[in-house]
């Protein structure tokens, strides 16, 4: 009899723990969802365009103006680092960057689909003779989402590499049995 009661108590405790943890998890998602909807209340069309990401770019070389670039009307406007998506600039960095220094660009909006980002950076002429790398980190909600190192081909060439990514929808949009209320 005591064994039977003990087995029942253990089962109740286990089931209760699982049930509570499920509840806690769904409650958290629910709260986040509510917050997100609130923040985009005034601009619903923008929330459909995709999520915002943070790009962190760290070069292993001093990034400077491309010595083989066509002269621009305003030389201070020439990009040192450029990230583009379908021909549109997401990042257009016009200041020199020292090697090892990370630049962080917040609130980069990317569509929730397969995206192809083109990263371009120009090492200074001496560094460009050797292989150079650009570390690219993409964060969503402060959490690393993708991390890649892009290598140059050496021989004076700038880095010009494409990164393909399949951006999965954020947790909040997964169907977890919750009804999403349109504002």
| Interacting residues toward another protein by CB under 8 A | 67-71, 125, 128-129, 155-157
Nearer to another protein by C-beta: 125 or 144?
125
Nearer to another protein by C-beta: 131 or 146?
131
Compute the distance between CA of residue 96 and CA of residue 78 in angstroms, rounded to an integer: 10
Nearer to another protein by C-beta: 7 or 69?
69
Minimum CB separation from another protein for residue 120, in Å? 13
Compute the distance between CA of residue 55 and CA of residue 58 in angstroms, rounded to an integer: 10
Compute the distance between CA of residue 54 and CA of residue 105 in angstroms, rounded to an integer: 6
Minimum CB separation from another protein for residue 66, in Å? 9
Q: Is 67 helix (H, G, I), strand (E, B) or coil?
A: coil
Minimum CB separation from another protein for residue 81, in Å? 18
Compute the distance between CA of residue 140 and CA of residue 51 in angstroms, rounded to an integer: 8
Nearer to another protein by C-beta: 1 or 73?
73
Which strands, in side-by-side order, build the sheet including 133-140? 103-110, 51-59, 133-140, 143-151
Minimum CB separation from another protein for residue 74, in Å? 14
């Amino acid at each position: 009899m005591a064994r039977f009661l003990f087995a029942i108590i253990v089962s109740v405790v286990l089931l209760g723990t699982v049930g509570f943890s499920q509840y806690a998890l769904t409650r958290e998602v629910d709260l986040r969802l509510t917050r997100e909807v609130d923040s985009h209340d005034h601009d619903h069309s923008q929330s459909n365009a995709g999520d915002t990401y943070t790009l962190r770019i760290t070069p292993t070389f001093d990034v400077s103006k491309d010595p083989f670039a066509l002269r621009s009307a305003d030389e201070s406007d020439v990009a040192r680092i450029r990230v583009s998506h379908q021909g549109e600039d997401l990042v257009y960095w016009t200041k020199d960057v020292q090697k090892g220094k990370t630049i962080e660009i917040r609130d980069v909006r990317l569509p929730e689909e397969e995206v192809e980002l083109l990263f371009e950076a120009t090492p200074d002429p001496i560094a460009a003779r050797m292989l150079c790398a650009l570390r690219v980190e993409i964060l969503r909600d402060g959490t690393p989402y993708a991390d890649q190192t892009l290598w140059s081909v050496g021989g004076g060439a700038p880095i010009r590499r494409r990164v393909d990514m399949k951006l999965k929808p954020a947790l909040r949009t997964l169907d977890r049995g919750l009804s999403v209320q349109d504002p």
